[in-house]
């Protein structure tokens, strides 16, 4: 973390879990524990159908609500999709884009990621753009090539001023939901290289300003060490965000 230049963000990704009726007890636990945690922004990314309940129950708290995906189209005949304008009007403030599960199961391409980022920024939502390599790519030693290409294409055609409103997340796919975590050194190295790409695309000021999160089996046992890395500005947390106690412990680690 480097609080001098950028904010720390702890974002939960509930994936396809919980019911609207289960949000209140979780929100109550989180709100009472997070009142004094001033050093990081806290986000819960919920399924679109749960966003309204989450907005209602996190109202008047430090916890913002996000969605987990958004349409690459602005509006119109796209049955089943949810637009950036609809999410914003429904009270969401953030959207995860390019999550490996969307890339894999919904065929989300780099081009679609770029369109979604642009629309999301147009509608005053903060995109949390995920990049990361598969196990095969990790073992083949091509992580940096892949991650650099994903960052470049996600930000293609976006001005520095707009890029400074974004958040990036390095999520090695082999670490998502597997219990296997990148070492702090690995996470730091890839995040620092992502920041180098931002410097090449824009300038030092922009590269310094954009938070880069780590995601992949972050939990209360490994959070502090990962978050102590200078280019790791927070976490995107799946499994552990479904347990209020574990999520609160990670938030506390980010407040040290």
Give the separation between CA 168 and CA 154, rounded to whole angstroms. Answer: 10
Q: Which of 63, 154, 236, 248 binds ligand PEP (CB under 6 A)?
A: 236
Q: Which of 47, 132, 215, 234 binds ligand PEP (CB under 6 A)?
A: 215
Number of amino acids touching ligand PEP (CB under 6 A): 13
- Say whether residue 252 binds ligand PEP (CB under 6 A): no
- Say whether residue 186 binds ligand PEP (CB under 6 A): no
- Say whether residue 41 binds ligand PEP (CB under 6 A): no
Give which of 162, 178, 177 is closest to 118, Cα–Cα.
162
Residue nearest to ligand PEP (CB): 238
- Say whether residue 239 binds ligand PEP (CB under 6 A): yes
Give which of 56, 2, 12, 52 is closest to 241, Cα–Cα.
12
Q: For residue 128, which phi and psi values (nearest 5 degrees)? A: -110, 100
Residue closer to ligand PEP by CB (options 131, 207) is 131
In the chain, what is the straight-line distance between the N-terminal and C-terminal CA atoms, in Å? 10
Least Cβ distance, residue 129 to ligand PEP (angstroms): 12
Least Cβ distance, residue 18 to ligand PEP (angstroms): 14
Give the separation between CA 111 and CA 134, rounded to whole angstroms. Answer: 19
Catalytic residue numbers read: 99, 171
Residues 149-178 that bind ligand PEP (CB under 6 A): 171, 176-177
Phi-psi region of 17 (alpha: psi -120 to 50; beta: other; left: phi over 0): beta
By CB atoms closer than 10 A (0-12, 13-18, 19+), residue 168 is buried
- Say whether residue 13 binds ligand PEP (CB under 6 A): yes
Give the separation between CA 38 and CA 9, rounded to whole angstroms. Answer: 11
- Say whether residue 237 binds ligand PEP (CB under 6 A): yes
Chain positions contacting ligand PEP, by CB under 6 A: 13, 171, 176-177, 215-218, 236-240
């Amino acid at each position: 973390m480097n609080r001098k230049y950028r904010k720390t963000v702890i974002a939960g990704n509930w994936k396809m879990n919980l019911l609207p009726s289960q949000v209140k007890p979780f929100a109550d636990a989180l709100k009472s524990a997070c009142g004094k945690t001033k050093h990081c922004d806290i986000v819960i990314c919920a399924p679109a159908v749960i966003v309204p309940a989450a907005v209602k129950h996190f109202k008047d708290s430090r916890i913002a609500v996000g969605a987990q995906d958004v349409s690459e189209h602005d509006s119109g005949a796209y049955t089943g999709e949810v637009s950036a304008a609809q999410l914003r009007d429904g009270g969401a403030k953030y959207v995860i884009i390019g999550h490996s599960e969307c890339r894999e199961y919904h065929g989300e391409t780099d081009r679609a990621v770029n369109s979604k980022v642009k629309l999301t920024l147009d509608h005053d939502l903060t995109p949390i753009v995920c990049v990361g390599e598969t196990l095969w790519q990790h073992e083949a030693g091509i992580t940096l090539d892949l991650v650099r290409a994903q960052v470049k294409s996600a930000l293609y055609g976006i001005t520095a001023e707009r890029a400074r409103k974004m958040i990036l997340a390095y999520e090695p796919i082999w670490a998502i939901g597997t219990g296997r975590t990148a070492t702090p050194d690995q996470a730091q190295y890839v995040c620092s290289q992502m920041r180098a790409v931002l410097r090449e695309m824009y300038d030092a000021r922009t590269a310094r300003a954009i938070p880069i999160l780590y995601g992949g089996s972050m939990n209360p046992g490994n959070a502090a060490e990962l978050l102590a890395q200078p280019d790791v500005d927070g976490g995107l947390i799946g499994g552990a965000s479904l347990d209020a106690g574990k999520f609160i412990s990670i938030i506390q680690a980010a407040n040290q």
